[in-house]
Amino acid sequence: MQRVFSGIQPSGVPTLGNYLGAIRNWVPMQDDHDCIFCVVDLHAITVWQDPKQLTQQTREMAAALLACGLDPRKCILFVQSHVRAHAQLAWIFNCVARLGWLNRMTQFKDKAGKDRENASAGLYVYPNLMAADILAYHATRVPVGEDQKQHLELANDIAQKFNHDYGVTFFPAIEPLIRGVAARVMSLRDGTKKMSKSDPSDQSRINLTDDPDTIALKIRRAKTDPLPLPEHVSGLEGRPEARNLVGILAAITDTLPENVLREHGGKGFAQFKEVLAEALVAHLSPIAAEIRRLLADPHAIDAALHAGAERARAIADPIVARTQEIVGFLPER
Ligand code: AQP
């Protein structure tokens, strides 16, 4: 079985974007892949995180992943900082990756914004840690969205350079794993920006923990344009907010945007938003209820994560020990 690795940052409550773009697609992979899923807290602190909130968000993220269907009997689920191998291998990769490679990463440019001098060094070397996350397990398949493809190419460059420089065939090639239509969900306030858990406006996103009234209100207030819905997908051209809402209904009801428009084309947004809110509430309410149930027992969540970390260490520690040996570090014992 191919080994899959994927991670998600505990940088806020998981959103509908995280769910439709990533988490929902991870669930079926557990049946035909050797899956390792990680709450990547080391990545989260590349931008400021309030310590108390980070602890809470890490548990919430784990609860959300379990509530969405990740099953510790079928996959390994753990927190990144609990497995030292990630940071150990990332340091070695900091010494393999070239500055020129990192300078080309568009996500750094986006996240650092204009005040680049003030961005953390961690944000800059984020892709090296991501390479370490994957290669510490010799994982060969990584489910990624379009935005992460560049980081995956960099991980492959690091693996190849390491193998070449040390004259070994140790790290495998990594391939993106694309399953079904990975939905890209945009902000409810601006159809040209992606929905993000760290967006300052809570109105810009649907959180997996939102109650039905909040979901309905956020959808009702979602930005739209004055025209009715078009009859065909071509009519969504230049209408990012309309495209986003149609895309969300299509993804949540497992259909294509053209089918949504066949049924709802010509309607006004007030009517369409009611249908969309109802579909979202029906789909997300059981998940929110399960998150609440799991969070009522934080010790059980921590215990599941500790057990996951132990299984992760059993795979990663020997790979990192061998990497250190290849590099020429004096053996620890
Ligand atoms: N809006 C989105 N639509 C589709 N997929 C999305 N993902 C994130 N936002 C959307 C996918 O979720 C996975 C985990 O993401 P992450 O937590 O590692 O970081 P991110 O992509 O930066 O997600 P956020 O929510 O925007 O977090 P912050 O606000 O901390 O930056 C990834 O597979 C991602 O593609």
User: pLDDT tens across 128-162, in order?
Assistant: 999 999 999 999 999 987 778 899 999 999 999 99
Give residue 7 CA to ligand 1 midpoint distance, Å. 10
Q: Is residue 194 part of a domain?
A: no
- What pLDDT, on the 0 to 100 scale, is given for residue 283? 97
Find the CATH number of the domain harbouring 287. Answer: 1.10.240.10
55, 116: one domain: yes
Binding-site residues for ATP sit at 9-11, 17-18, 145-147, 185, 194-198
**From 196, 198, 208, mutation site for ligand 1 pocket: most ligand atoms within 8 A of C-beta:** 196
81 and 121 Cβ atoms separated by less than 8 Å:
no
Residue 2 has pLDDT above 60, yes or no: yes
Q: Is 200 exposed, middle or buried (0-12, 13-18, 19+ CB in 10 A)?
A: exposed
User: pLDDT tens across 159-174, in order?
Assistant: 999 999 999 999 999 9
24, 125: one domain: yes
Q: Report the DSSP beta bridge partners of residue 36.
A: 5, 76
Instruction: State the maximum Cα–Cα separation within the chain, in Å, rounded to a whole number.
Output: 72
Interface confidence (ipTM) of the complex: 0.97
Does the CB atom of residue 196 touch ligand 1 within 6 A?
yes
Does the CB atom of residue 184 touch ligand 1 within 6 A?
yes
SS3 275: helix
The tokens for 135 are 């290669």
The active-site residue, picked from 52, 149, 197, 267, is 197
111 is catalytic: yes
Give residue 47 CA to ligand 1 midpoint distance, Å. 14
Length of the chain: 333
* CA–CA gap between residue 187 and residue 203 (Å, rounded): 9
The tokens for 147 are 């935005």
- Residue 225 CA: distances (Å) to CA of 196, 264, 270, 301: 22, 16, 11, 43
93, 9: one domain: yes
* CA–CA gap between residue 167 and residue 118 (Å, rounded): 38
What pLDDT band is residue 182 in, cutting at 50, 70 and 90? low
Find the CATH number of the domain harbouring 115. Answer: 3.40.50.620
pTM for the full predicted model: 0.95
Does the CB atom of residue 38 touch ligand 1 within 6 A?
no
283, 232: one domain: yes
* CA–CA gap between residue 59 and residue 79 (Å, rounded): 9
User: Residue 110's domain spans which residues?
Assistant: 3-183+297-327
Give residue 184 CA to ligand 1 midpoint distance, Å. 9
- What pLDDT, on the 0 to 100 scale, is given for residue 62? 98
Query: Terminal CA-to-CA distance of the chain, rounded, Å?
Result: 33
